[in-house]
């Protein structure tokens, strides 16, 4: 079988970003890098090179039966306070340097993808402080070969930029739709900043996916999908079990907004939905795809409610919660009873459609390193003792949000 991971993470080692940074920022970068203390143990361990060592990465992914992947950011770009996904949006005073670091990451990523032609779809990072800058970077990275689309930052309450439903972002949506680029919204973004105390960290883990979900209803009620029927939103690494319940809730509110009743729901929401021609669940079916990452056994039975053609599996390499080095076992655990045609769409076909992978090109690689349908159809009876991915948790839950 061809297996494409729709959720991988990569980035340069800190000092290796310097050549990709515009020279006028080198002196400031040198001072910043000298003073920066990396708080992430996994980015200081020897295994951190999985983020940037192309040969090692290909070797270990092939060991897991994976032949291609979509690449989201992971390491610390120049002038960022933390990793790309969880860093809060910059203030006006911080924007110039952070934007320079963002572009440096995109340049590095284009070169990294070029080291494995046809096997990596890099997702370009943007910021929302200046929409004209964002649009220009979308066009530049598209021309540079980053075919993974755009990483849409989340906008937390109180952020220094307008919420995602604001009309100020219309040029961004228009450009992505024009170029046929998916807009990716990854778990971890959009949440309030991390605070270094035990309770705050626990609350973050409970809430972080919900903050990432917010982009869905912002773009629906903001009319973005109505104006751009071909725009594709990819919701990645934020689970899949929440989707049926949330779509039911959104449809309920939509119907109440349109009711014309003398209720707070109709009064508050009526104007927003007056120009919408579809219900939220219908926009989801037309415009959205889910990077379900390491789908858990509790999520697999929901695939028909969500839509088999809207689900993409991912290994989350090289994160601790990812499935490496047990991706083969993870696929058996979650998909052993899924028909082959559905399974092929979830682990390869849908990602090929969304991100432009050539399945004929990947076929010889899969024949060499991939899993067989017969192998995946064998239920996993013994969980790997040292596995760290949630897919191997003995008990799983279905989330309500």
- Tell whether 397 is covered by a domain: no
CA–CA separation, 289 and 351 (whole Å)? 9
Give the per-residue pLDDT at 146.
Answer: 97
CB 391 within 8 A of CB 332: no
Q: Could you give the number of structural domains in the chain? A: 1
Average pLDDT estimate for 191-202: 85
Residue-wise pLDDT tens digits, 244-303: 999 999 999 999 999 989 899 999 999 999 999 999 999 999 999 999 999 999 999 999
Provide φ and ψ at 222, rounded to 5°: -80, 0
Average pLDDT estimate for 172-178: 98
Buried b (16+ CB within 10 A) or exposed e, 36-56: eeeeeeebeeeebebbbeeee
Specify the pTM: 0.95
Q: 78: domain CATH number?
A: 3.20.20.140
- Tell whether 218 is covered by a domain: yes
Please report, for residues 72, 80, 200, the alpha-carbon distance to residue 194 in angstroms, rounded to integers and kept in the order given.
Answer: 20, 14, 7
CA–CA separation, 49 and 160 (whole Å)? 34
pLDDT band (50, 70, 90) for residue 401: low
Who contacts 31 (Cβ-Cβ below 8 Å, separation ≥6)? none
Residue-wise pLDDT tens digits, 215-225: 999 999 999 99
- Tell whether 32 is covered by a domain: yes
Please report how many Cα atoms fall inside a 13 Å half-sphere around the Cα of residue 370, on the Cβ side. Answer: 19
Residue 120: closest CA among 84, 151, 148, 85: 148
Give the per-residue pLDDT at 66.
Answer: 98
- Tell whether 237 is covered by a domain: yes
Residue-wise pLDDT tens digits, 6-55: 999 999 999 999 999 999 999 999 999 999 987 777 777 889 999 999 99
Residue-wise pLDDT tens digits, 96-115: 999 999 999 999 999 999 99
| Residue 10: how many other CB atoms lie within 10 Å | 26
- Tell whether 401 is covered by a domain: no
CA–CA separation, 293 and 232 (whole Å)? 18
Give the per-residue pLDDT at 191.
Answer: 87
The residue behind tokens 């890098």 is: 33
pLDDT band (50, 70, 90) for residue 174: very high
| Residue 245: how many other CB atoms lie within 10 Å | 15
Give the per-residue pLDDT at 369.
Answer: 97
Range of the domain at 337: 4-392
Tokens of 342: 């559905």
- Tell whether 70 is covered by a domain: yes
The residue behind tokens 């170029």 is: 179
């Amino acid at each position: 079988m061809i297996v494409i991971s729709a959720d991988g993470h990569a980035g340069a080692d800190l000092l290796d970003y310097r050549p990709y940074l515009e020279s006028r920022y080198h002196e400031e970068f040198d001072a910043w890098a000298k003073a920066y203390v990396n708080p992430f143990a996994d980015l200081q361990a020897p295994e951190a090179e999985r983020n940037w060592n192309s040969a090692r990465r290909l070797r270990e992914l092939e060991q897991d039966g994976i032949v291609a992947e979509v690449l989201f950011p992971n390491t610390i770009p120049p002038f960022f306070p933390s990793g790309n996904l969880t860093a809060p949006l910059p203030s006006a005073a911080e924007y110039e340097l952070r934007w320079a670091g963002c572009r440096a990451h995109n340049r590095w990523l284009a070169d990294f993808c070029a080291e494995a032609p046809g096997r990596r779809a890099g997702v370009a990072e943007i910021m929302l402080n200046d929409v004209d800058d964002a649009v220009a970077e979308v066009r530049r990275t598209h021309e540079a070969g980053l075919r993974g689309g755009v990483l849409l930052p989340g906008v937390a309450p109180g952020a220094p930029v307008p919420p995602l439903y604001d009309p100020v972002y219309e040029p961004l949506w228009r450009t992505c739709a024009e170029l046929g680029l998916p807009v990716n919204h990854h778990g971890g973004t959009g949440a309030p900043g991390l605070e270094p105390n035990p309770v705050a960290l626990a609350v973050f883990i409970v809430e972080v996916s919900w903050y990432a979900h917010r982009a869905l209803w912002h773009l629906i009620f903001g009319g973005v999908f109505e104006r751009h029927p071909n725009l594709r939103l990819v919701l990645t690494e934020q689970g899949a079990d929440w989707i049926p319940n949330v779509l039911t809730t959104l449809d309920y509110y939509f119907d109440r907004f349109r009711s014309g009743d003398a209720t707070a729901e109709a009064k508050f929401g009526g104007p927003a939905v007056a120009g919408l021609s579809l219900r939220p669940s219908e926009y989801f079916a037309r415009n959205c795809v889910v990077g379900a990452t390491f789908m858990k056994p509790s999520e697999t039975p929901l695939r028909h409610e969500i839509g088999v053609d809207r689900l993409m599996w991912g290994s989350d390499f090289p994160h601790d919660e990812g499935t490496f080095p047990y991706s083969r076992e993870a696929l058996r655990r979650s998909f052993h009873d899924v028909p082959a045609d559905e399974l092929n769409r979830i682990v390869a076909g849908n990602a090929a459609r969304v991100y432009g992978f050539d399945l004929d090109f990947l076929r010889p690689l899969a024949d060499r390193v991939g899993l067989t349908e017969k192998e995946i159809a064998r239920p996993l009876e013994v969980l790997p003792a040292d596995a760290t991915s949630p897919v191997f948790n003995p008990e799983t839950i279905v989330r309500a949000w």
